[in-house]
Amino acid sequence: MQLAICSVCGNEVEAGSSPCPYCQAEGTGSRPLPAGPLHRIVNLEKGMPLVQQALDRLELEITASIKLGQKVLTLIHGYGSSGEGGAIKIAVLRQLQFLQHQGRVKEIIPGEEFEGRSSRGRQLLRRYPFLKGHRDLGRGNPGIILVLL
């Protein structure tokens, strides 16, 4: 069985299959499967960077992930030592909102909202079934953001 990517939802499907078993779109499975995983975790707070260094890394990681054909990026930005959200979290969220406005990212899901029980969560897991095994699913982790590319 040869695998391809659904041109609508981005899930792996059997090449030439129609409709897509995940999103029910017709005529899917025409794009070849990209080399590498569809999801990646990036720790933006590793090495205790300054805010600008974390934003520079964010830009590099998003660009690389898009080129690799990845669909979801989990960003670990931390929550700050004050317990109210750190400077990196705030700056990353603002930058992601800007990139979403530009059309470079499709959707932003804060860790606090990453769960599978709501309508939005069920739709997300239907579109990206590989997220069912995500370590932070349903944990309400304020130190991460999922980015749909």
Average pLDDT over residues 114-133: 89
Do 70 and 18 share a structural domain? no
Q: Name the 3-class secondary structure at 31.
A: strand
Average pLDDT over residues 1-24: 67
Please give the pLDDT value at position 33: 47
- Residue tagged 């930058």 (tokens): 95
Q: Up-side HSE of residue 84: CA atoms within 13 Å toward CB?
A: 1
Quote the CA–CA distance of 50 and 60 in Å, as a whole number.
16
Do 67 and 26 share a structural domain? no
Do 101 and 67 share a structural domain? yes
For the cut 60, the answer to whether the pLDDT of residue 19 exceeds it is yes
Q: Tell me which range, 20-29, 104-113, 115-124, is most confidently predicted by mean pLDDT.
A: 104-113
pTM reported for the whole predicted model: 0.74
Q: What domain count does the chain have? A: 2
- Where in the sequence is the domain holding 23, given as residue range(s)? 1-33
